[in-house]
Amino acid sequence: MIRYIFQRLLQAIVVLFGLSVLIFFIARVVPGDPARVALGSLATKEQVQKLREELYLDKPFPVQYYFWLRGVLKGDLGISLYTRRPVVRDLSDYLPATLELVFFSFLISLVVGQVTGVLAGYFRNSLFDGLSRLVSYIGIATPPFAVAILLMFIFSHILGLAPAIGRISLALSPPPRLTGFFIIDGLLAGKPRLALNSLKHIILPAASLAIANLAQESRVTRSSIVDNLQKDYVAAHTVYGIPKGSILFKYLLKPSLIPTVSIMGLDIAFIIANAFLVELVFMWPGFARYAVTVMLNKDLNAIVAVVLVVGVAFAAVNVIVDIVVSFLDPRIRLQGRGE
């Protein structure tokens, strides 16, 4: 088991190293001088030259990469050429809001997706099955930003059930920062009203992020339940007279969840990617909105950092998912041993 985890970690590190070379390379070969872009057209030649030397831009590519990587390993991602602050500080300011959002929407898509998927698979070809398939078709076909706008339009503008933008009402001041998650911080600070307020703010963006995923997940779970229902062991259990409910929960669920769990890494990746769009619609002050801002301003240091952070998050999620799957499916865990 430990060997398996170690192997996966090593693989992830190799991939991340490759990703860093790729993105750093692209950032350096694009037309335009990063130093000139950062300082603007009014800067003198000497100023530009000085910044070029500070950023090692006058050195060959491998040297530049070496110095950059050395910084990254020490936790220094460079200065944002747009906000003029260390990129790491920018990221630590904006990341918690996005993590909170991603976590919530993952929770929603997990619970709703599993329940509808299991039900649709178990009662296949029923009205519920048909309805859930129709909904998942539409959910997959609708781009997340359109979902976000639609939900905002219906639930906020027309029905007035939830606030449209931001993380917390403007009249309230955010709770003292402990975790960066407003809901948890609000509760910890003993201000349930504050926590409730930010909970209300998070529902619409989290739901918009969840919908596309949910559709995918419920479809995967459905088809895997349908497959497993036709297996001999289910027939054998039925013949033995084991109650239907206990067949479903005790024997059917675990093997049926393997495909769903193994695409969970992809799910989270999609939620993170889609957060780039949804945060824009709901003016959610998170990492993704920061990322879009630096991208629109061609802030090379920050763009490289953003891609890298997403890569690390994605790699971590994938390693965790693989470990969970190997617990669910002993065949994967024991693969290396039999040979």
The contact set with other proteins (CB under 8 A) reads 11, 14-16, 18-19, 22-23, 26-27, 30-31, 137-138, 140-146, 149-150, 152-153, 157-158, 269-270, 272-274, 276-277, 280-281, 291-292, 295-296, 298, 300, 303-304, 306-307, 310-311, 314-315
When the beta carbons of 1 and 146 are compared against other proteins, the nearer one is 146
When the beta carbons of 26 and 235 are compared against other proteins, the nearer one is 26
Residues 6+ apart with CB under 8 A from 200: 162, 163
Which contacts (CB < 8 Å, 24+ apart) does range 224-231 have? 224/121, 224/256, 224/257, 224/258, 224/259, 224/260, 225/117, 225/118, 225/121, 225/122, 225/252, 225/256, 226/121, 226/124, 227/256, 228/252, 228/255, 228/256, 229/121, 229/122
When the beta carbons of 11 and 47 are compared against other proteins, the nearer one is 11
What is the smallest separation between the CB atom of 47 and other proteins, expressed in angstroms? 23
What is the smallest separation between the CB atom of 250 and other proteins, expressed in angstroms? 27
What is the smallest separation between the CB atom of 27 and other proteins, expressed in angstroms? 6
Tokens of 173: 């001041």
When the beta carbons of 198 and 262 are compared against other proteins, the nearer one is 262
When the beta carbons of 100 and 299 are compared against other proteins, the nearer one is 299
What is the smallest separation between the CB atom of 297 and other proteins, expressed in angstroms? 9
What is the smallest separation between the CB atom of 285 and other proteins, expressed in angstroms? 17
Instruction: Identify any residues that bridge with 79 across adjacent strands, giving them in sequence order.
Output: 86
Tokens of 219: 């479809």
Could you tell me which of 10, 263, 230 has the C-alpha nearest to residue 124?
230
